[in-house]
Structure 1
Amino acid sequence: MTALLELSDLTVRRGATTVVDRVSLRVAPGECVGLIGPNGAGKTSLLRAALGLLPHDGRSSIASLPAGTRARQAAWIPQVREIAWGIDVEAVIALGRTPWLPRGGKLRPEDRAAVDRAIRRMKLEAFRIRPANHLSGGEQARVLIARALAQETPLLMADEPIAGLDPAAQITTMEVFGRIAAEGKAVVVSLHDLGLAARHCSRLVMMNHGRAVADGPPAQVLTPDRLEEVFALRAHYTRSADGPIFQPLESLR
């Protein structure tokens, strides 16, 4: 199966410090990959370098593409999610269609349909004509997630997209990501909530000190030894009739 993202020995340095250290990774259609690790593990730098937004050594199949092709291949949700523009929510989300439009072109019926799908997925119907900069921080975050969804690329990459969302919106967002993967696309999402990562990601990549130290199904990655070594954490992890349940119990620092 053709990969939607391939990284080979990807390395990012900040001065003399290596923040991503020779990470190799392959993401196939149908995968929702959770990128986990403590603060400073290199998750954001890995995502940004993979997209060609940071200088790096090694190879990224996305970063090597021309800018226009890259924007039609991968959508990006960064950590910073504040909307300063006084335009309505629908117009912000419609910006996600820009890579597909001819220069100076207006939205076509298929573009408007993509915007409508993104609005429905993020449950933003009631916000459609409201000024985006009048929304709460969590609501603005949902709008910017919808903008990336409207791009309808084969690959979606997101850096802590559920941070700051209320619990229901966090679950909704992760369910949306899972459905996108089930449609034959792929999602790579960095997360701090290991419980949601365990429940909604088909695969986890655990990072520590810039390296990928584990890669596999959640149950194989979230082992007691790794949780203690990487997160200094003791947790309870089990499978129930409702799916995987992960509950942090104790800090070991």
Structure 2
Amino acid sequence: MTLLALDALTVRRGECPVVDAASLRLRAGECVGLIGPNGAGKTSLLRGALGLLPFEGTSSLAQLRPKDRAAQAAWLPQKREIAWPMTVERVVALGRLPYLARGASLSATDQASVNAALTRMGLDSFRSRIATHLSGGEQARVLIARTLAQETPLLIADEPIAGLDPAAQIATLEVFQSLAKDGRTVFTSLHDLSLAARYCSRIIVIHAGRIAGDGPPEDVLTSDMLARVFRLNANIVHTRHGLLIEPLGVLP
């Protein structure tokens, strides 16, 4: 089952294409990592796919009505800020809004989804705390839980583990991996190549706005690709947990 189809998606900044004719298909049960250097077009591709930026080409998500899109895909933007002093539980409950009639309260099903999201992100003991009083990393986990509570077939996340400590990074990616095993799909931009290789079943590389690689980590994360796209000289180690990318230096 295809959950996202992009055909020749192009996003421009002025006349310059920051995403240049990107085409891809995401299927149910995939955890897909989107990687590329800063300025490669990762965020623009994700936002264009959701219809949050003007684009040329086609996106199956952008064609949906906003309410239908919210039931199909949850979105975690790179910029994460909780503006209002609400409890953690209430912030996470915002993920249920696409399913509620105006003015309606949470049903037992909605509350169960909120509880499951809090548990998955290790936030059960935080539910009554004011979200704006938490650390930046803790707030990030709350917002990830909000997307989980939305319980959509597709979760799109822009650098979700940025600012998290190593344990929280691994815990978050383990959650994403478990979602894929349950038949849902995760499409996430990442900068840590080793974590992307370990937790993503598929890697998409974007470079200068164009898709430069797409496939299993061991096929995509090669010395040639790291040199060409990231200007990295790196040692690639095959371990029982997946590839380990050890940067050794920057190429001229």
- TM bucket by the smaller chain? over 0.9
Aligned partner of 1:245 in structure 2 is 244
Aligned partner of 1:50 in structure 2 is 49
Aligned partner of 2:17 in structure 1 is 18
Distance in 2 (CA, whole Å) between partners of 1:151 and 1:35 is 22
* 2:135 aligned with 1:140: no
CA contact (8 A) 2:85 2:132 kept: yes
Distance in 1 (CA, whole Å) between partners of 2:239 and 2:55 is 42
C-alpha displacement of 1:103: 1.9
C-alpha displacement of 1:126: 1.6
Aligned partner of 1:110 in structure 2 is 109
- 1:50-99 per-residue CA deviation (whole Å, 9 max, x = no partner) reads 00100000000000000100000000000111212111000000000000
- 1:4-32 per-residue CA deviation (whole Å, 9 max, x = no partner) reads 00000000011011100000000000100
The worse-fitting range, judged by mean Cα deviation, of 64-73 and 101-110 is 101-110
- 1:153-178 per-residue CA deviation (whole Å, 9 max, x = no partner) reads 00000000000000000000101000
C-alpha displacement of 1:248: 1.6
C-alpha displacement of 1:236: 1.8
**Identity value in percent:** 62
Number of residue pairs matched by the alignment? 252
Counterpart AA for 2:87: D
Aligned partner of 2:130 in structure 1 is 131
C-alpha displacement of 1:129: 0.5
Counterpart AA for 2:175: V
Matches within 5 A, 1:24-173: 24-173=23-172
Three-state SS of the structure 1 residue aligned to 2:19 is: strand
Distance in 2 (CA, whole Å) between partners of 1:120 and 1:113 is 11
Three-state SS of the structure 1 residue aligned to 2:172 is: helix
Distance in 1 (CA, whole Å) between partners of 2:223 and 2:110 is 47
Counterpart AA for 1:121: R
Distance in 2 (CA, whole Å) between partners of 1:237 and 1:93 is 39
C-alpha displacement of 1:240: 1.7
Counterpart AA for 1:28: R
Give the structure-1-normalised TM-score: 0.98
C-alpha displacement of 1:143: 0.3
Three-state SS of the structure 2 residue aligned to 1:184 is: coil
Counterpart AA for 2:76: I
Distance in 1 (CA, whole Å) between partners of 2:117 and 2:212 is 35
Three-state SS of the structure 1 residue aligned to 2:2 is: coil
Three-state SS of the structure 2 residue aligned to 1:4 is: strand
Distance in 1 (CA, whole Å) between partners of 2:100 and 2:238 is 46
Identify unmatched segments of 5+ residues in structure 1.
none
* 2:230 aligned with 1:231: yes
